[in-house]
């Protein structure tokens, strides 16, 4: 099965092989979303189950994340929209103190696929950097914050608070996500939405953008 081969290439941390196998699967007519879910994401789920967070494991998981990234790059053109037109801008970043970016990168791909122009601030992004990015792009539709570490949840709260204090806050939506984030937490800190997957995140953002467009 092409999915099993892709999964193994990612688990073994082989970026070139992962990219080649993803390309081959697409050429053979496999769908991009099946390759993402049954190949790449399935490998990350397996890695997550076995992660012990010792030094050896970190090196292994890092190699796996690189292979995942190489595979994702092959998939990106297949999720690119065009068919949805321009839905405006989305600002995206991982909360301060947190260096995890695999989930964030998938969110970016899905948003682009839904017609958003994505301004990706990267990882370890502070409240100040998010606020500055919104000031630089006052026409932004959605601000997305990703967080995988419980220790960075206070930073996520701080970012949302800083965004909520902005004068133009009513003009954009704030969405949060990542492993330790819950719907309840989103409500508590004043974010507008939470989901546990990138596809649904892009759908919710698209609905926000459409609602805003029909109101104006």
Q: Give the nearest distance from C-beta 85 to ligand B12 in angstroms.
A: 22
101 binds ligand B12 (CB under 6 A): yes
Q: DSSP secondary structure string, 115-142?
A: TEEEEE--SSB-HHHHHHHHHH-TTEEE
- Length of the chain equals 216
176 binds ligand B12 (CB under 6 A): yes
The sheet that has 193-194: what strands, in order across it?
A: 116-120, 88-94, 140-146, 173-177, 193-194
Number of residues that bind ligand B12 (CB under 6 A): 38
Distance CA 100, CA 176 (A): 14
In this structure, are residues 92 and 133 in contact, taking their beta carbons and an 8 Å threshold? no
39 binds ligand B12 (CB under 6 A): no
Q: Which residues contact 92 (CB under 8 A, 6 or more apart)?
A: 104, 107, 108, 111, 118, 119, 120, 121, 143, 144, 145, 146
61 binds ligand B12 (CB under 6 A): yes
93 binds ligand B12 (CB under 6 A): no
Among 17, 21, 22, 144, binds ligand B12 (CB under 6 A): 144
Q: Give the nearest distance from C-beta 91 to ligand B12 in angstroms.
A: 11
CB atoms near residue 53 (< 10 Å): 7
**Candidate segments 4-12, 13-21, 73-81, 191-199, binder of ligand B12 by CB under 6 A:** 191-199
201 binds ligand B12 (CB under 6 A): yes
Q: Give the nearest distance from C-beta 125 to ligand B12 in angstroms.
A: 12
Q: Give the nearest distance from C-beta 43 to ligand B12 in angstroms.
A: 9
In this structure, are residues 116 and 64 in contact, taking their beta carbons and an 8 Å threshold? no
Among 30, 98, 120, 155, binds ligand B12 (CB under 6 A): 98
Which residue ranges make up the site for ligand B12 (CB under 6 A)? 41, 44, 47-48, 51, 53, 58, 61-62, 65, 97-104, 106-107, 144-146, 148-151, 175-180, 195-198, 201
């Amino acid at each position: 099965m092409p999915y099993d081969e892709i999964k193994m290439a990612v688990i073994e941390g082989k970026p070139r092989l992962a990219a080649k196998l993803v390309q081959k699967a697409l050429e053979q007519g496999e769908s991009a979303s099946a390759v993402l879910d049954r190949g790449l994401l399935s490998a990350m789920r397996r890695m997550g189950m076995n992660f012990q967070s010792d030094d050896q494991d970190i090196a292994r998981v890092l190699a796996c994340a690189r292979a995942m990234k190489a595979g994702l790059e092959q998939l990106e053109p297949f999720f690119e929209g065009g068919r949805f037109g321009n839905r405006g801008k989305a600002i995206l970043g991982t909360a301060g103190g947190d260096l995890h970016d695999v989930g964030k990168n998938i969110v970016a791909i899905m948003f682009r696929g839904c017609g958003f122009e994505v301004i990706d601030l990267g990882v370890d992004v502070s409240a100040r950097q998010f606020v500055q990015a919104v000031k630089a792009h006052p026409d932004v539709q959605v601000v997305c914050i990703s967080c995988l570490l419980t220790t960075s949840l206070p930073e996520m709260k701080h970012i949302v608070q800083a965004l909520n204090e902005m004068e133009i806050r009513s003009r954009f939506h704030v969405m949060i996500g990542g492993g330790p984030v819950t719907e309840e937490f989103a409500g508590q800190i004043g974010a507008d939405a939470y989901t546990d997957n990138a596809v649904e995140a892009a759908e919710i953002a698209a609905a926000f953008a459409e609602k805003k467009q029909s109101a104006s």
